[in-house]
Amino acid sequence: ETNTLPFHPFENQQGDILRVEKEHQVLQEQLKEAEEKFEQLQSRSLEEIGVLEELLKKSLEEIKVSQNELDWFHQDSEAQVKKWQQEKKEARDNLKALRSSVKKHTDTQERYLKTIDDKEKQYNVYLNTFLDTSNKFANEKVKLEELIKKSQDDSQECEKRAVKAEVSVLQNWKESEVWKLSGTIAKAETNLKMLRALSSSASAAAPVLKSQIDAWETFISNVKKQLEKVEAEYEEKIQLVQSGARISLSKVETVDIPSP
């Protein structure tokens, strides 16, 4: 019966102390494992804390840099906002001016369109009037061209008749002068012939007759020159008239040569 009954007050039933010892041993082992795990976790946590501290330090530095950049960005943003507000104000003023200009141009365009419409109506009226007048003028032009052609034909015919008449007048004047001078030459030559005949038969009067003969020969020579001059000048005038030149009809001036 030894050790077969529960050991009071530590056991309620037999084996409680052994069971407690076993549980204590298990708990000791679990505590040891927990301590080892705690040490491992503590070591790993210290490493992680060091890494985190480094990251925190780096992050703080980056935050400081970022804060500076943020300050710069804020300053730049404020400057940009002020600039944008100024540009917005200028744009608003420009828009207001443009709207005023657009309204002004629109009013001007409407006025011009109305003026163009009025001018177009007036142009159509003028165009119709012009076409009517042009047709009338065209008909009158045809008639005038016919009259001008007829007048030109008549004028050419008149000019031909006038040329013939002028040539005829000049020919008559020429023939008249030539006939007169030729008659004078013929009479002078008759007198010269008579004087030569007398000179050959009357030797006593030879010196006097000789001077008379010389005078008549000179007279005949001058008259012949006058005749050639008259013929040449009349021929020149006749050619000018026949070529269509406008000349004043007048007789050729002659010199009255006194006979001996």
> Is residue 52 one of the residues assigned to a domain?
yes
> Is residue 235 one of the residues assigned to a domain?
yes
pLDDT for the residue numbered 255:
77
Query: How many Å is the Cα radius of gyration of the chain?
Result: 76
Angle among Cα 147, 148, 153 to the nearest 5 degrees reads 100
pLDDT for the residue numbered 181:
87
pLDDT for the residue numbered 1:
47
> Is residue 135 one of the residues assigned to a domain?
no
pLDDT for the residue numbered 3:
61
Identify the domain boundary among 74, 90, 112: 74
Q: Residue 111 is which amino acid?
A: R
Tally of domains in the chain:
2
> Is residue 255 one of the residues assigned to a domain?
no
> Is residue 259 one of the residues assigned to a domain?
no
pLDDT for the residue numbered 163:
84
| Domain with 219 in it | 159-243
> Is residue 151 one of the residues assigned to a domain?
no
pLDDT for the residue numbered 27:
93
Distance from C-alpha of 142 to C-alpha of 144, rounded to nearest angstrom: 5
Distance from C-alpha of 29 to C-alpha of 40, rounded to nearest angstrom: 16
What is the DSSP code string of the chain?
-TT-S--TTT-SSTTHHHHHHHHHHHHHHHHHHHHHHHHHHHHHHHHHHHHHHHHHHHHHHHHHHHHHHHHHHHHHHHHHHHHHHHHHHHHHHHHHHHHHHHHHHHHHHHHHHHHHHHHHHHHHHHHHHHHHHHHHHHHHHHHHHHHHHHHHHHHHHHHHHHHHHHHHHHHHHHHHHHHHHHHHHHHHHHHHHHHHHHHHH-STTHHHHHHHHHHHHHHHHHHHHHHHHHHHHHHHHHHHHHTT------PPP---PPP-
Q: What is the pLDDT tens value at each position of the chain, 260 positions in all?
A: 456 666 666 667 766 777 888 889 999 999 999 999 999 998 888 888 888 989 999 989 988 888 888 888 888 888 989 998 999 999 999 999 999 989 999 999 899 999 999 999 999 999 999 999 889 989 989 999 999 999 889 888 888 888 889 889 988 988 998 998 899 899 999 988 888 888 777 665 567 778 888 888 999 999 999 989 989 988 988 898 888 788 777 888 777 788 88
> Is residue 90 one of the residues assigned to a domain?
no
> Is residue 36 one of the residues assigned to a domain?
yes
